[in-house]
Structure 1
Amino acid sequence: MGTEEKKEPEKTENRYEEIEKALKRTAKAVAISSDGKPEVRDIDAIRADTFTKLYSAMSSGTILTGTLSGCETAKNVITPELAVQGIVDYGGVKIIIPAKEMWTKIPEGLSEDASSKDKFKFYTSKVSAMLNAQIDFLVERVDKDKNIACASRASAMAIRRKQNYIRKMHGETESRMEKAVREKRRIEARVVSTSGTSVRIEIFGVETRVKAADACWRYVSKLSSVFHPGQHIYVIVKDMRIDKNTGDIEINASIKEATENMLLHNIKYYQEGSIQTGTISGKTVKGYYVAVGNTFTGIDVFCRRVMGQSMPQTGDIVACKINRIYDDGNASGKITRIIKPIQSISY
């Protein structure tokens, strides 16, 4: 009678522990191989591959894409638009993009008689606001010894504009974007920066600002809580003006029109004259916005009047009476009482 050989149990050492050990032994980095598994590679080998790509892109004029990861100020450079620099980590190589090369047009907000100090603050603020944004760039110079490369986002944007807005499609009488706008197609855009009241996006080399009214169907007090740099979204371009002589392009876009208006569906579940529980989601000089229901099934009720002597604050849970429902899914009413203040004391 034969005996079965006992197989040794397979080693189940965590592959990430192996990677960690390898990193401690030598200057290694973790890359993702073609089959999707983590792979430990020599940092110098990775950088060598990166420099090959950079030299090739520089000679061919190929546009590269990366994530803006830093904002720095160059030493011993007195010109603000050259001293303030955006940084992209591209395969272990530091890509430097001066503020002058970050935009085709200087962002609004800088006065012509601004001092050098004010310019430094302005450019630092604008570049910093773009951190984590995905941007295109053209490589202009490579310094392998210093492990850096200098690039221009503005030049890459100019090429994107020419390809998509100016140049006519083969056998067509209009450009790719002209056709997309005419047919009211959804167009992919990149979020470049956000603020409380607007979202700045880039559509094939053209930046435009989307105001709160065109960003969301529901009321949002701070758009930065919904959108962030690096995010890819869809928009509908409502209006576009192209000056083919100067190359200037102006776009009026809407984020919300590229999505379904959920309010038209949700409003059917509410009645005029009903009293609903909601949360104060924001306030303006004209009144309060009360969010009734949840994010997916709720509505916003704009209340100009507040019953009682106490004035509610953002975050308070209140009761509101819906006086009127409109065809666009919005509603108006009044706050009848504060149910639970946001600063209430728990016993």
Structure 2
Amino acid sequence: MANTKKAIEEVTEKEIPRAAYEGVLTIDVDAQVESAQEQEDTRWHQLLNAHRTRKVLTGQLGGIEKLESGWMVAVTYYNGFRIIIPMNEMMINLSGDGRENADTLNRQVRIANNMLGCDIDFIIKDLDTKSRSVVASRKDAMLKKRQTFYIGEEGEKPLLYPGRIAEARVIAVAPKAVRLEVFGVEVSVRARDMAWEWMLDANEKFQVGDLIQVMVNKVEGTEPDEIHVEVDAKSPTANINKDNLRKCHRQGKYTGVITEVYKGTYFIRLDIGINAVAHSCNMSALPGKGDKIGIVVTRINDNYEVAEGIITRLIKRWK
């Protein structure tokens, strides 16, 4: 009897995997579950490999902080680990921000605040295994992408060139401009070059984190740190203004929103889906930007793909 019991125990021990006796006891005897510490070690090892190979990683810009040392840093997370990027390693394009006389750091922080929530690329510069802290550079990642996509291998055509349609990240949005990141190059595009329809505010159509298609119109520079790019988001999309213009008729009365007022000229986005211009207003109280108005169309301008008319009534004040 004793020999039979011993034989059964030996057979059972051989059939049950060692995983059932060590580590986490799983319902499925053939499965293995890593502990939280083991999972963290695996994720940290991935960061070590990325540091060694200078791999470009992507994370969401989650915060802007001032450290005790006085450093202003951007904060992102990758695989659960906190990554800090010094502000001078963010490679933020300051041209055209309208604050040329302000402190450089303040200008960088202001733009970075508007970028919160966007995806950014980075390369790990240094890490501490003991504290598991990571310092990275967005600048290094952007320069690497520029080399790959705008310069490429000697003798070969680059992947990005004038006339090429490419995807771009929306990294910040202002009322009259949208900041894009096009494969390592930051570009500020006027709202009127982002869509065929006139907009009161670019936030109506674009949000941080969006991926959009753009047409590359111009590429300048032969070195990664000299690359300058011009793009627009209108060209890759269909121009619906032409089709919608047929819905509009002379002496027709339509409603719309004033998107801009410049030197007595009103630029209007009609609710029927076309752009309109009014040079005069038959009202005692002049309307302003953002107001809902009524307009009588007096002319269809096919050359500029707009309707022209006279504002006849104010429907609703914007503010």
Work out the number of aligned pairs and report it.
286
1:143 aligns with 2:118: no
1:57 aligns with 2:50: yes
Contact 1:281-1:289 at 8 Å conserved across structures: yes
1:175 aligns with 2:158: yes
- Please list the CA deviations of residues 193-235 of structure 1 after superposition, one character each: whole Å capped at 9, or x if unmatched: 1211111111111111111221111111211332222211100
Please point out which of 213, 219, 222 is paired with 2:192.
213
Q: Unaligned regions of 5+ residues in structure 1, if any?
A: 1-39, 78-82
Structure 1 residue 150, shift from structure 2 partner: 0.4
1:263/1:42 CA distance change after superposition, 3 Å: farther
Please point out which of 235, 241, 244 is paired with 1:263.
241
Please point out which of 303, 313, 316 is paired with 1:337.
313
- Please list the CA deviations of residues 43-82 of structure 1 after superposition, one character each: whole Å capped at 9, or x if unmatched: 54543332111100000111111111111111123xxxxx
1:69 aligns with 2:62: yes
Residue in 2 that maps onto 1:273: 251
1:103 aligns with 2:91: yes
1:334/1:145 CA distance change after superposition, 3 Å: farther
Contact 1:104-1:158 at 8 Å conserved across structures: no
SS in 2 for 1:257: coil
Contact 2:295-2:309 at 8 Å conserved across structures: yes
Give 1:73's aligned amino acid: K
1:94 aligns with 2:105: no
1:110/1:313 CA distance change after superposition, 3 Å: closer
* Aligned-CA RMSD value: 2.7
- Please list the CA deviations of residues 317-336 of structure 1 after superposition, one character each: whole Å capped at 9, or x if unmatched: 42211122223422221101
| TM-score in terms of structure 2 length | 0.80
1:285/1:240 CA distance change after superposition, 3 Å: same
1:316/1:201 CA distance change after superposition, 3 Å: closer
Give 2:309's aligned amino acid: G
Please point out which of 120, 130, 133 is paired with 2:115.
130
Residue in 2 that maps onto 1:287: 265
- Please list the CA deviations of residues 281-328 of structure 1 after superposition, one character each: whole Å capped at 9, or x if unmatched: 44344332333225xxx1121212110202224454422111222234
1:280/1:106 CA distance change after superposition, 3 Å: closer
CA radius of gyration, larger in: 2
Distance 2:286 2:144 in 1: 54
Distance 1:240 1:93 in 2: 36
Distance 2:159 2:104 in 1: 37
Distance 2:235 2:64 in 1: 34
Structure 1 residue 123, shift from structure 2 partner: 2.6
1:231/1:249 CA distance change after superposition, 3 Å: same
Distance 2:122 2:56 in 1: 6
Contact 1:47-1:93 at 8 Å conserved across structures: no
Moved more, 160-169 or 62-71: 160-169
Q: Unaligned regions of 5+ residues in structure 2, if any?
A: 1-32
Contact 2:216-2:232 at 8 Å conserved across structures: yes
Structure 1 residue 147, shift from structure 2 partner: 3.7
Distance 1:43 1:123 in 2: 38
Give 1:224's aligned amino acid: N
Superposition pairs of residues 76-91 of structure 1, within 5 angstroms:
76-77=69-70, 83-91=71-79
SS in 1 for 2:131: coil
Give 1:55's aligned amino acid: L
1:283/1:76 CA distance change after superposition, 3 Å: same
Contact 2:151-2:222 at 8 Å conserved across structures: no
- Please list the CA deviations of residues 222-278 of structure 1 after superposition, one character each: whole Å capped at 9, or x if unmatched: 11332222211100011221234x741111111111111110111011123322233
Residue in 2 that maps onto 1:237: 216
Give 1:128's aligned amino acid: N
